[in-house]
Amino acid sequence: MSSPQSASPQSSLTVINHPLVDHKITLLRDVNTGAGEFRSLCQEVTLLTAYEALRALPTETVTVETPLTTTDAKQLAGPAPAVVGILRAGLIMVEAILTLIPNAKVGHIGLYRDPDTHLPVEYYRKFPIDIERREVILVDPMLATGGSAVAAIEHLKEAGVKSLRMIAIVGCPEGVAAVHGPHPDVPITVAALDPKLNDSAYIVPGLGDAGDRIYGTK
């Protein structure tokens, strides 16, 4: 008989279902939304999505002195989390999460999708030296084929990371399945889950190329 400890991890997908998030996602989808507004919206959606995604961060009880008394209160346990952004587009989400967790450490993985194969090509990687001790928050606005996310997760696990979750702005069933197949232990939280990929491996309806829209490069 399998005990809860030995059971294989349960895949977890959370889709934010909230009027404010829906409204901001609609503005992100709009082809007429310019780069400045697009960047602000990505940061706002990241904050609202992270609020839900980080519910399970471990806490510990400490004693704090208020102006009136001394009381037990909760704080984040252990060393500060590490936020890992997949370049380029993930950078905008890293900046947003740093406003919530200012003492977080930051890691980067540089990946771009080969335009023909749609497979991720790595060009940079730098993690905090003790990342294996930290809760890790992997961020990338788009979870399309899932190739970039899986490559990043594999590198993080090779580095010894044991507790890791992913936050994306828009995902699709193909990307979620690609991650949860090999990595059912990685919870995924998305602000929106779209129906499918097109023949060029773009999410439809989606919001286009997130990196290009954030940085105005197209």
- 206 near ligand URA, judged by CB under 6 A: yes
- 92 near ligand URA, judged by CB under 6 A: no
In the residue annotation, 113 being an active-site residue is answered as yes
Query: 146 contacts which partner out of ligand URA, ligand PRP, none, CB within 5 to 8 A by kind?
Result: ligand PRP
As a dihedral over the C-alpha atoms of residue 161, residue 163, residue 168, residue 173, rounded to 10 degrees, the angle is: 100
Residues near 50 by Cβ (< 8 Å), separated by ≥ 6? Answer: 96, 97, 100, 137, 167, 189
Interface mask (CB under 6 A) for ligand URA, residues 142-161, using x and -? x-x-----------------
Q: Which CB sits closer to ligand URA, 58 or 205?
A: 205
Q: C-beta of 6: minimal distance to ligand URA in Å?
A: 37
In the residue annotation, 46 being an active-site residue is answered as no
- Asked whether 76 and 59 are in contact (CB, 8 A), the reply is yes
Report which secondary-structure segment, H or E, holds 61: strand 59-65
- Asked whether 104 and 97 are in contact (CB, 8 A), the reply is yes
Distances (CA, A) of 146 to 16, 91, 114, 119, 188: 19, 18, 13, 9, 12
Annotated active-site residue in 113, 134, 165, 213: 113
What whole-number distance in Å separates Cα of residue 192 and Cα of residue 43? Answer: 15
Q: C-beta of 41: minimal distance to ligand PRP in Å?
A: 15
Residue number of the CB atom closest to ligand PRP: 211
- 202 near ligand URA, judged by CB under 6 A: yes
Which residues are identified as catalytic? Answer: 113, 117, 209, 212
The residues of the shown chain that bind ligand URA, judged by CB under 6 A, are: 142, 144, 202-203, 206, 209-211
